[in-house]
Structure 1
Amino acid sequence: MSMCEHARLMAQYNEWMNTRLYGAALTLPADAVLADKGAFFGSLYGTLSHIVLGDTIWLKRFSMHPAAHASLDPVRAMAAPASYDEREGNLEALRERRIALDKIIGEWAAELAQADFGHVLKYNNVKGMPFSRPFSGLVTHFFNHQTHHRGQATALLSQAGVDMGTTDLLMLVPEA
């Protein structure tokens, strides 16, 4: 599987899982979504918010790629997130942002070319420190970060009595 095919599969998995996660989260009362459960980002809302903010930060970095992927134009126009902790508490508003990001991610993944992955991307972290990393590794991290934190969100939903069912990427891997 090429990096392009992998990115497209991961974008599809990302959207599939996020649709299911938000659907499940919206079945819970607001106080259960916002309750601090001792997770790394406190609550289910905090975890979902972290994924949205992290995705936004990474997509803004990816928008600096010299290929200037047109699909990232909406991201270029977004204000940089102030922090990872955005606790406005409105799950429906967060879901709308998630849907918009997932659409952008899918379009961006479809636009990627194999040559894009050979680039070394220079960016600053949230503290302003400069970094330089292979784009291929950053894209892998981007999708792994989402999967990692969705696992945490799934655990929080399970603790609240919500069964997410199968969450494996394998469900979307095409048969050979």
Structure 2
Amino acid sequence: MDPKPHFETLARYNRWANRRLYDAAAQLSDAQFREDRGAFFRSMRGTLNHILVADRVWLERIEGTGPKPSALDETLFDDFAGLRAAREAEDERILRVLASTPAERFASVLSYRSMAGTPHALPFAQVLTHVFNHQTHHRGQAHGLLSQFGLEAPSIDFVYFLLELK
């Protein structure tokens, strides 16, 4: 199986799920967006910023260029509108990176340094799997936060994305 189309589908799903989540989160007041609800990254603001931080960390490792956050809990964007625009741009960046990735790279190893400077090497395809799995994990937390605020959390399961493609 050629892994590139699979990862490109995951990138399109990722963008779809993020748009649905952000559409729902747009209903939050600014106070709710910032409110510490006991989530791992405290608030909706913290959770959504963390997802963006992690994507930027991994894409910088993959591309060797781009923004390089300094901490996993860094607040890249304090306001929802700025964060949403940055999320859209990052999702498009992920799609561009995958489109320009040569097929042979999916079988390669990615060598990188952790944020603490420790060297690591992992199979490139497994790194990409982590990037998408990480987003799914934290989108689930954001989904729970929406429910805590009494909002209808959108269906963001992969299967619903696939069914929409039909």
Q: TM-score with structure 1 length normalisation?
A: 0.87
Distance in 2 separating the partners of 1:96 and 1:167: 20
Indicate the residue corresponding to 1:69 in structure 2.
Answer: none
Report the equivalent of 1:157.
146
| 1: CA distance, partners of 2:102 / 2:160 | 25
The equivalent residue for 1:102 is 91
How far apart are residue 26 of structure 1 and its match?
A: 1.4
Could you say which residue in structure 1 is the equivalent of 2:69?
81
**CA displacement at 1:171 relative to structure 2:** 1.8
Show the 5 A alignment for 1:2-41: 2-41=2-41
Is 1:135 the counterpart of 2:136 in the alignment? no
Structure 1 residues 43-58: aligned runs within 5 Å: 43-58=43-58
Write the distance in 2 (CA, Å) between the matches of 1:173 and 1:90.
32
Where do 5+ consecutive residues of structure 2 fail to align? none
1:115 aligns with 2:121: no
What fraction of aligned residue pairs are identical, expressed as a percent?
40
Q: Greater CA deviation, 13-22 or 87-96?
A: 87-96
In the alignment, residue 119 of structure 2 is paired with which amino acid?
P
Contact kept? 1:9, 1:172, Cα under 8 Å: no
Matched residues in 2 for 1:31 and 1:53: separation? 22
Q: Secondary structure at the match of 2:24?
A: helix
Q: Which of these residues, 86, 93, 97, is aligned with residue 82 of structure 2?
A: 93
Cα displacement string for residues 82-115 of structure 1 (whole angstroms, at most 9, x for unaligned residues): 2122235211111111111011111222233331
Cα deviation code 1:31-78 (max 9, x no counterpart): 1011001000000110000000000000001114xxxxxxxxxxx2x3
Give yes or no for contact 1:57–1:80 (8 Å, CA) kept in 2.
yes
Asked whether the 8 Å contact 1:56–1:81 carries over to 2, the reply is yes
**C-alpha distance 45-142 of structure 1, shift in aligned 2 (>3 A):** same
Letter in 2 for 1:158: S
2:140 is paired with a residue of what secondary structure? helix
Report the Cα offset of residue 133 of structure 1: 0.7
Q: State the AA in 2 paired with 1:98.
A: R
Taking the aligned partners of 1:97 and 1:80, their CA distance within structure 2 comes to: 14
State the TM-score, normalizing by the size of structure 2. 0.91
**CA RMSD after TM alignment:** 1.7
